[in-house]
Amino acid sequence: MSESDVTRDGVQGVRPGREATAGTGGDRRGRHRRRRGRGEQPMVPDASFSSYYGKPVLNKPTWKPLDIAGYLYLGGLAGASSLLAAGGQLTGRPGLAAPAKLGAAGAISLSLAALVHDLGRPARFLNMLRVFKPTSPMSVGSWLLAGYAPLTLTAAATEVAGRYRLLGSAATVASAVLGPALATYTAVLLSDTAVPSWHEGHRELPFVFAGSAATAASGLALAAAPTAQVGPARRMAVLGAALELGAFRLMKRRMGLAAEPFEQGGPHLLLRAAEALTTGGAALALLSGRLRERRLAVAAGAALLTGSAALRFGVFHAGVASAEDPKYTVLPQRERLAAQGS
C-alpha cells in the first residue's frame, strides 16, 4: 500500500483484513455493559484489593493491645467512678464514696502506667505536655490526664488519711467534673484515626464508651460498697448498659461494611461476651436491689467489670483487623465518591 492510498477518510481500495477489527472489542464491551445493566453475572471476577508490593493501604496501629486497650478501659472506669464518688459524698453515702474514690485513683494510676509502658519511657508523656493543641485529641487527652490524676489521688489520699476533709471534698467534686471527659475522650482519640472500624463509628463511639465506663464503675461499686448504699450504682448500671448496647448496635448498623470486623474472629467473641456479661450484670444488679442479697451484687459487679473490659478489647482488635484489610478502606471511599457523583 502506497502513501497515496491513504486519504483523510481512511484507506481507499483495500478491504479490511483481520487487522481491521478495531472497535469490535468496544462493541463487545458495550454489549457486555448492557448485559450487566440487565442484571446478568459479570464476566470477570471482582477486583482484589491490594496495594503495591502487597503492602496494606493503611499501616495498622502499632500500639500494644494490652497496654492501649487496658488504658481505654481503666480511663473509663476512673472517670465514671469519680462521678459515683461525688454522688456518694453529696448524698451522704460514705460507704459508696470511699471505694469509688479509691477505685478511681487505682484505675487512673494503672491507666497512666499502661500508657507510659506503651510509649516506652515517661519522658515521652511529659513531652506531650509541652504544647496544647485544642484540635488534637491526643494533646487534649494528655492535659486532661495531667489535671485529673492529681485531683483523684488527692481525694483518695484524704479519704484514707481521714484528714483535710475540705480539701478532699473539693478534689472529689473537681475530679467528677473532669470525669465524663476522661471517660469518653479515648473514643474521640480512636475515631480521629484513619482506621476504618474506628473512624466510621465516630458519631456513636463516644456514647458506647460512656455507657461502658458507667457499667464498669457501677460494677466496682456493687462489688465493694455496702448493699444498702449502692442504689445510685444500680441505676447507673442499668442506664449504662442500655446506652452501651443501644449505641453499639446503632453504630454497627450505620457503619455498613466497616462494621464487618466486629462480627468476625476474636473481636466477635469478645463483643458477644461483652454483650452477654453487660446484660446479665445489669439484670443481676436489679435483682440484688430487690432481694438485698450481697452475693448477687458481687456477681453483678464482676459481670459488669468484665463485660466493659471485653468491649474495649473487642473494639481495639476489630479496628486493627480493619486496618489490615484494604477493602475496608477502598470500598467505603468508592461508595462515597459514587454518592457524590449521583
Query: pLDDT digits over 176-221, tens only?
Result: 999 999 999 999 999 999 899 999 999 999 999 999 999 999 999 9
Least confident of 37-51, 68-82, 164-178, 300-314: 37-51
Better pLDDT: 224 or 26: 224
Residue 194 DSSP class: S
Contact criterion met (CB below 8 Å) for 317 and 65: yes
Residues paired with residue 193 on neighbouring β-strands, in sequence order: none
Confidence of residue 49 (pLDDT cuts 50, 70, 90): low
141-176 core/surface letters (b: 16 or more CB in 10 A; e: else): bbbbbeebbebbbbbbbbbeeeeeeeebbebbbbbb
Q: How far apart are the first and last CA of the chain?
A: 50
Asked if the model's pLDDT at residue 29 lies above 60, the reply is no
Query: How many other C-beta atoms can be found within 10 angstroms of the C-beta atom of residue 273?
Result: 17
Q: Dig out the grid coordinates for 292 from the structure.
A: 438485698
Lowest mean pLDDT among 21-30, 145-154, 241-250, 326-335: 21-30
Global pTM?
0.81
**pLDDT tens digits, one per residue of 324-341:** 888 888 888 887 788 777
Q: How far apart are CA 235 and CA 218, in angstroms?
A: 8
